[in-house]
Amino acid sequence: MGSAVPNGPRPVAVNPIVEMNGDEMTRIIWGLVKQRLIEPFVELKLESYDLHLPERDRTKDAVTHEAARAIRRHGVGVKCATITPDAARVKEYHLEKAWPSPNGTIRAALDGTVFRKPIAVRTIPPMVRSWTKPIIIGRHAYGDVYRNAEMKIPGPGQVEMSFHPASGGDAMTIVVHEFEGPGVVRGQHNLDGSIRAFAQACIQYALSERVDLWFAAKDTISKTYHASFKRIFAEEVEKRRADLDAAGVRYQYLLIDDAVARVMRHEGGFLWACRNYDGDLMSDMLASGFGSLGLMTSVLVSPDGKFEFEAAHGTVQRHYYQHLKGEPTSTNSTATIFAWTGALAKRGELDGTAELVHFAQALERSVIETIEAGVVTKDLAAIAEPRPAGHVTTAGFIEAIAERLASKMAAGAPR
Ligand code: NAP
Ligand code: MG
């Protein structure tokens, strides 16, 4: 599409955005969003990778690794939801094998932390009345129960845990338990470097969003393991004390049960840094508490400032099967659109192209105003206040946003 035509898409990009397409219903949405909400308005430089499951299978998953390297290179990516294959998917798609989760591959390549943030809409009241501002969850993505070693204990006997220094010298051994009968045992680990990178990423994100930072654990019980997390967070906060003070960002450590109780009475507007398992639970609780999975965005941030944006939900398989049967669907594309606007705004911010940032803001406003005007998908129709008369289809929702966006852009968004 070489030269820009009057009223046509405007070339606004300096550097590329890495685009990763995906699967099922979100793949349908991906195409509609690009075609109706992006391409008519802005001319981008996209470096595209297709993470569609058949394509991952054909390339023996090389395409996922290439995409991850591209994000490292260009600094900004936007990803569609993808299937993480299990045995049923291997059969359904005639796969060579159950390829690993693309999100896991990309997270490992970027050594990143995932932040999940609800999209606040006036007409979608959260389940918790006090939540008037978003609560962002930062989830540590390494270790603990996800990398544990566990054993079934068949009967009476002693379980020990020991460390053998690679440099030689005496081993350290402690008794875990003297079993008098059958039971189970589990060994967990984490790494100072990983915890530190997590703390740094959370501080960085709290500064960029200008929100307070919470970290919670149970160091009163776990006096070595949890206490190490607490100590490392405190050390990293001290290193950034001047920046935090200048930005008015406060840090506090809480016991996890105290944090859970306080969250339910808090107005929000903070980043809650969670250990791996806590983050798994709390992010799903907050997603449903704030209304819908369709209103939850997710961003992966690497310690050296690379960003990957996506919706927090999956490929919405059930709706896709309806779609394949020719039945109308009403899937919420909000989080997918916000993945795009997040990437556009970040690209614009890094490149110094204000026009791209303004476009991203105009698109976000168009989505929110559409929902607030009562034009909603089925998931929101049940919880919006005032209650809308009905709901629109997947494509109908995107069409309504496109109309609003077009009039906003015509009414003098800066050229
Ligand atoms: P899901 O795709 O998140 O959908 C679960 C249910 O949540 C849907 O059936 C739907 O409920 C509701 N939902 C989610 N997103 C919605 C939206 N945008 N609009 C309206 N309703 C929405 O989870 P899943 O069905 O368990 O997983 C499907 C596939 O996604 C799996 O293969 C999994 O591997 C993959 N997955 C990928 C990612 C990722 O790429 N980041 C994350 C999670 C899962 P109703 O059916 O009640 O309408
Ligand atoms: Mg989970």
* Closest ligand, as measured to the CA of 105: 1
Portion of the chain with pLDDT greater than 70, in percent: 97
Band of residue 147 on the pLDDT scale cut at 50, 70, 90: confident
Q: How far is ligand 1, taken at its centre, from the CA of residue 233, in Å? A: 33
Mean pLDDT throughout 31-53? Answer: 97
Q: Is the peptide bond before 386 cis (omega within 30 degrees of 0)?
A: yes
Ligand 1 atom having least distance to the Cα of 336? 18
Ligand 1 atom having least distance to the Cα of 298? 41
What tokens appear for 323 in the block? 């779609």
Closest residue by Cα to residue 50 from 24, 79, 88, 73: 79
- Contact 316 CB / ligand 1 (< 6 Å): yes
Interaxial angle between packed helices 354-372 and 394-410, expressed in degrees from 0 to 180 and rounded to the nearest 10: 130
Q: What is the pLDDT of residues 205-230, one digit of tens each?
A: 999 889 999 999 999 999 999 999 99
What tokens appear for 174 in the block? 């402690």
- Contact 105 CB / ligand 1 (< 6 Å): no
Mean pLDDT throughout 72-76? Answer: 97
| Closest C-alpha to ligand 1, atom 6 | 316
Q: What is the pLDDT of residues 256-305, one digit of tens each?
A: 999 999 999 999 999 999 999 999 889 888 988 988 889 999 999 887 88
SS3 label, residue 348: helix
Closest residue by Cα to residue 335 from 63, 79, 3: 79
- Nearest-angstrom CA–CA distance, 21 and 83: 11
What tokens appear for 409 in the block? 């852009």
Residues 215/230, Cβ–Cβ less than 8 Å:
yes
Residues 401/370, Cβ–Cβ less than 8 Å:
yes
Tokens 């690009």 belong to: 34
Band of residue 7 on the pLDDT scale cut at 50, 70, 90: low
- Contact 317 CB / ligand 1 (< 6 Å): yes
pLDDT at position 253: 98
Q: What is the DSSP string of 86-144?
A: -HHHHHHTT-SS-PPPHHHHHHHHHT-EEEEEEPP-TTS--SSTT--S-EEEEE--S-G
pLDDT at position 3: 40
Of the CA atoms within 13 Å of residue 353, those in its CB half-sphere come to: 22
> Could you give phi then psi for residue 186, rounded to 5 degrees?
-145, 135
- Contact 17 CB / ligand 1 (< 6 Å): no
SS3 label, residue 16: coil
pLDDT at position 141: 83
* Closest ligand, as measured to the CA of 84: 1
Q: How far is ligand 2, taken at its centre, from the CA of residue 112, in Å? A: 17
* 120 has pLDDT over 80: yes
Q: What is the pLDDT of residues 319-354, one digit of tens each?
A: 999 999 999 999 999 999 999 999 999 999 999 999
- Nearest-angstrom CA–CA distance, 398 and 408: 15
Sign of dihedral through CA atoms 345, 346, 348, 352? positive
Tokens 């009562």 belong to: 374
- Contact 84 CB / ligand 1 (< 6 Å): yes
Residues 337/401, Cβ–Cβ less than 8 Å:
yes
- Nearest-angstrom CA–CA distance, 275 and 227: 12
Q: How far is ligand 1, taken at its centre, from the CA of residue 314, in Å? A: 4
Mean pLDDT throughout 87-111? Answer: 93
Question: By 3-state DSSP, what share of the chain in percent is helix, strand and coil, each rounded to 5?
Answer: 45, 20, 35
* Closest ligand, as measured to the CA of 146: 2
- Contact 100 CB / ligand 1 (< 6 Å): no
- Contact 101 CB / ligand 1 (< 6 Å): no
Number of Cβ within 10 Å of residue 225's Cβ equals 16
Band of residue 413 on the pLDDT scale cut at 50, 70, 90: low
* Closest ligand, as measured to the CA of 114: 1
- Contact 398 CB / ligand 1 (< 6 Å): no
Q: What is the pLDDT of residues 355-380, one digit of tens each?
A: 999 999 999 999 999 999 999 999 99
- Contact 294 CB / ligand 1 (< 6 Å): yes
- Nearest-angstrom CA–CA distance, 36 and 403: 9
* 31 has pLDDT over 90: yes
Closest residue by Cα to residue 195 from 138, 247, 250: 138
Sign of dihedral through CA atoms 49, 327, 84, 197? positive
End-to-end Cα distance, the chain: 19
